[in-house]
Structure 1
Amino acid sequence: MNLALRWLAWCAASIWLAAPALAHKPSDSYLSITQTATALTGQWDIALRDLDFAIGLDADGNGEITWGEVRSHHADIAAYALARLAVEGDGQPCVLRAGEQLIDQHTDGAYTVIPLQLNCPSAPAQLRLTYRLFADIDPQHRGLLRLEAQGQSRAAVLGPNAPTQAFDLAQPSRFGQFIDYAREGVWHIWIGYDHILFLLSLLLPAVLAWRAARWQPAENFRDAFVDVLKIVTAFTLAHSITLSLATLGLISLPSRWVESAIAASVVLAALNNLWPLFHGRRWTMAFAFGLIHGFGFASVLADLGLPQGTLALALVGFNVGVELGQLAIVAAFLPLAFMLRDTRFYQRGVFVGGSAAIAVLAALWFAERAFELKLLAF
């Protein structure tokens, strides 16, 4: 029991300390490489806010990055980026050259767009990429790769977990593409701390029961399991609906609205633990707010710019990955929480203290996202 107490306390502390760093959309760049009959070309979109942190774009320090400031740093940007991307064709190094940069908008702000020319010794059958952009300053940064060859498109995630990856340029297997998208779904839920805290807010009372106007320990594991099953099923169904609609382009909402609403959902879910209004119908809250979270999940697939032929595979694979990520969290949390449900540590420390901490943190996220404030120093 002491080991279980220490483990749960460690998990709660880890989430509390790490969450602010990922309160917003994680740091991503978007790298596309296209093979034609005669050449390899590409495009690399990198967030200006990340480049400003790395090499300093805001020359006058007024908090705003102008086109003139970006343009004056084009050579620095290209040199910084190309020094952190290596490409080999059939084991031989390819020379990367950057073209004239432009500016584009993604769901989370302005990006510099670097056209790429990849000169390999011969037309390669396999590409090997080593990606280390921002590796020394942001261990959570990822490069979202879209590779088009032989009339097919595939996706991959480049980052600290897998900085070097090889790709056969022959027609890719559908199963391999499915695994790539599923892996991205798992990773997205694990680093999306607002999604995790929303899920935990719903899981915390699952091992308790509302009786005599107060939370009391659940009588058996079956009741707790059924409660969690209802919540996870409702959340899954809801975010699958909006994930599909948003990725297919049928519904589009501003990123600021979506991210603000996600933060608000975390606040309300946590406060419901302290002053319960939906103690017997929390699955309805999971469904309603799951619709909002689906738009947040869709931002990753939308920014990849996937072609129509890959959309169905991407949707299914990514959604499966999200569910696997959620199930891993549930499987780790529920048994331990049930073991500790009748202890003061769980009832007062984890349940009440954890819910209050989640509500305060998510309220700060909401204020930052809705009113474009900077309240957290990290």
Structure 2
Amino acid sequence: MRVMKQWGSLVVSMVLLALISGTAWAHKASDSFIYLNQDRAEIRIDVALRDVAVALPLDRNGDRQLSGAELRAGRDQITRWVEQGVTLSSAQADCRLTGQQWGLSSHSDGPYAAGLYTISCPDGATPDTLTYNLLFSQDPLHRGLISLESDGASTLGVVGPDSRQLALSAGEAPGSLQLFGTFLYEGVIHLLIGLDHILFLLVLMLPATLRKNDGSTPVGLNQRLWELTGIVTAFTAAHSVTLALAALGIVRLPIAWVETIIALSIAVAAMNVMWPILGRKTWKLAFGFGLIHGFGFASVLGDLTSGVSQTVLALAGFNIGVELGQLGLLVIAFPLLYMWGKTHLYGRAVVPLTLVAVGAISLYWVAERAMAI
């Protein structure tokens, strides 16, 4: 009976891996970018073409991409949809948006439909609230990332399905503490929706959970915890460095290449557990590939423009949020895997099959993402 339960758990684990692989989220989540300049009474709204293709019936050939002809034919429909989904209002009533320019903009993850509007509020008032309602029905993880310029000062904000309004008046606009908390929360969410990052952490964790590994893996719990601490510290240090470099615009890499290499890093890490051609010092592997993962995280902040102090504050909150999400996963997963590791089936079947499944999923991602480059 005990063996049957162990095999049942193994089958459930493999099925879950197969199911979630089909709905995996890359590090670059679904985001729109809003640049609001109160001083010039202007707002620019950028929406990813891939999101427009999901929300509107413009993709005539069904390839989930918008060609130039499809985009031109759907321009009026796109602008009406955007104008209905983004509302500015003052104390008196809704403000009017008047289109000035329309075209394409480029962000780290590809082309976006971009519209520039002038803002006109009743009695010449200044808008005090932004309401955002795009794409939440299609993607509950979608976010609107906002860069706000007012009275010569800059700040950042985020709107989501649970917080669709952003206060714009001087007394109610996001303060430093609120900005930090907002991006801390976004960091946790970004970690949790990044299945590729989660699988990479799982692979890095597995050697420390094995009962024995030809004498190279510590047996005692304390030694295993120290090994895991070293791995996590190396990974955290590496992606924190590149996250900061990319978010501050010091170093930029094409996100399509970054996401492809991230997927490849999972396959290499999984292979190295079975055949340690890169050595058994897992912390070195964690540090090396952690540098690449940091560029993936940075895509959320790198496409916003704001003051350096605001960007640094958002970066700090976002990075800490990523680490909290990572720590939460480890606190939950490691004890379970450690207890499971006491069974003979774990090392003989669970770990090998998990590595094969993770490797296959990541190689599928590599092929899928490489085709988009």
- Give the shorter-chain TM-score range: 0.7 to 0.9
Supply the RMSD in Å over aligned alpha carbons.
Answer: 3.2
- The yes-or-no answer on 1:34 pairing with 2:28 is no
Structure 1 158/6 Cα, relative in aligned 2: closer, same or farther at 3 Å? farther
- How far does residue 114 in structure 1 lie from its aligned partner after superposition? 1.4
1:152 and 1:5 mapped to 2: Cα distance?
Answer: 60
What residue is the counterpart of 2:20 in the other structure? 18
Which runs of 5 or more structure 2 residues have no equivalent in the other structure?
A: none
1:93 and 1:274 mapped to 2: Cα distance?
Answer: 61
What residue is the counterpart of 1:227 in the other structure? 227
SS at match of 1:21: coil
What residue is the counterpart of 1:193 in the other structure? 195
What residue is the counterpart of 1:342 in the other structure? 342
1:106 and 1:67 mapped to 2: Cα distance?
Answer: 18
Kept after mapping to 1: 8 A contact 2:88/2:128: no
Kept after mapping to 2: 8 A contact 1:185/1:322: yes
Mean CA deviation greater in 179-188 or 82-91? 82-91
2:7 and 2:161 mapped to 1: Cα distance?
Answer: 31
Kept after mapping to 1: 8 A contact 2:148/2:306: no
Kept after mapping to 2: 8 A contact 1:41/1:117: yes
Structure 1 172/228 Cα, relative in aligned 2: closer, same or farther at 3 Å? same
What residue is the counterpart of 2:179 in the other structure? 177
- How far does residue 204 in structure 1 lie from its aligned partner after superposition? 2.1
What residue is the counterpart of 2:117 in the other structure? 116
What residue is the counterpart of 2:144 in the other structure? 143
Mean CA deviation greater in 3-12 or 344-353? 3-12
- How far does residue 190 in structure 1 lie from its aligned partner after superposition? 1.3
Percent identity reads: 37
1:267 and 1:138 mapped to 2: Cα distance?
Answer: 28
- How far does residue 253 in structure 1 lie from its aligned partner after superposition? 1.9
- The count of aligned residue pairs is 368
Note the alpha carbon deviations across 1:189-229, whole angstroms, 9 max, x for none. Answer: 111111111111111222225443797xx643322211111
SS at match of 2:22: helix
Structure 1 71/246 Cα, relative in aligned 2: closer, same or farther at 3 Å? same
SS at match of 1:46: strand
| Alignment of structure 1 residues 1-378 onto 2, 5 Å | 16-24=18-26, 25-36=28-39, 40-59=41-60, 65-90=66-91, 92-121=93-122, 123-124=125-126, 126-129=128-131, 131-170=132-171, 172-212=174-214, 219-277=219-277, 280-344=280-344, 346-348=346-348, 350-372=350-372
SS at match of 2:87: strand
Structure 1 100/68 Cα, relative in aligned 2: closer, same or farther at 3 Å? farther
TM-score w.r.t. the length of structure 1 is 0.85
- How far does residue 104 in structure 1 lie from its aligned partner after superposition? 1.1
2:119 and 2:349 mapped to 1: Cα distance?
Answer: 56
TM-score w.r.t. the length of structure 2 is 0.86
Kept after mapping to 1: 8 A contact 2:85/2:133: yes
Structure 1: which amino acid aligns with 2:129?
L
- How far does residue 359 in structure 1 lie from its aligned partner after superposition? 0.6
Structure 1 181/44 Cα, relative in aligned 2: closer, same or farther at 3 Å? same
Relative contact order higher in (CA < 8 Å, ≥ 6 apart): 2
1:367 and 1:158 mapped to 2: Cα distance?
Answer: 33
SS at match of 1:324: helix
Structure 2: which amino acid aligns with 1:193?
L
Kept after mapping to 2: 8 A contact 1:35/1:148: yes
Mean CA deviation greater in 204-213 or 191-200? 204-213
1:303 and 1:106 mapped to 2: Cα distance?
Answer: 6
Structure 2: which amino acid aligns with 1:333?
A
1:161 and 1:10 mapped to 2: Cα distance?
Answer: 33
Mean CA deviation greater in 84-93 or 318-327? 84-93
Which runs of 5 or more structure 1 residues have no equivalent in the other structure?
A: 374-378
1:19 and 1:164 mapped to 2: Cα distance?
Answer: 33
Structure 2: which amino acid aligns with 1:154?
T
Kept after mapping to 2: 8 A contact 1:40/1:119: yes
2:334 and 2:362 mapped to 1: Cα distance?
Answer: 23
Note the alpha carbon deviations across 1:210-257, whole angstroms, 9 max, x for none. Answer: 443797xx6433222111110110001111111122223332222222
1:64 and 1:184 mapped to 2: Cα distance?
Answer: 27
